[in-house]
Amino acid sequence: MKTPIITKLHVPAIINAASHLKQKGQLAMSKNNLLYLDIDDTYIHKLFPLLHDYQVKMPDYFGEKSVGAHITAIYPEEGRDINKEDLSIEHNFSIKNLVFTEIGPKTYYILLVDSPSLLQLRRKYSLPDCKYAIWNEPVAQACPTCAWPILTIKITKKRGTELVCPHKPCTFSKPMDIKEAE
Integer CA distances (angstroms), 27 to 16, 38, 78, in order: 25, 6, 17
Positions 160 through 179 that interact with Zn ion (CB under 5 A): 165, 167, 170, 172
In the complex with Zn ion, which residue's Cβ is closer, 42 or 101? 101
CB of 105 to Zn ion, least distance (A): 16
Q: Strand, coil or helix: what is 35?
A: strand
Q: Strand, coil or helix: what is 161?
A: strand
By the rule CB under 5 A, 95 interacts with Zn ion = no
Q: Strand, coil or helix: what is 168?
A: coil
Minimal CA–CA distance to 96: which of 117, 71, 113? Answer: 113
In the complex with Zn ion, which residue's Cβ is closer, 10 or 24? 10
CB of 169 to Zn ion, least distance (A): 8
Cα–Cα distance for residue pair 117/140, rounded to 1 Å: 35
- DSSP alpha helices (H): ranges in the chain? 12-19, 42-47, 116-124, 178-181
Positions 121 through 160 that interact with Zn ion (CB under 5 A): 143, 145-146, 148
Positions 14 through 53 that interact with Zn ion (CB under 5 A): none
CB of 143 to Zn ion, least distance (A): 3
Tell me which residues touch Zn ion (CB under 5 A).
Answer: 143, 145-146, 148, 165, 167, 170, 172
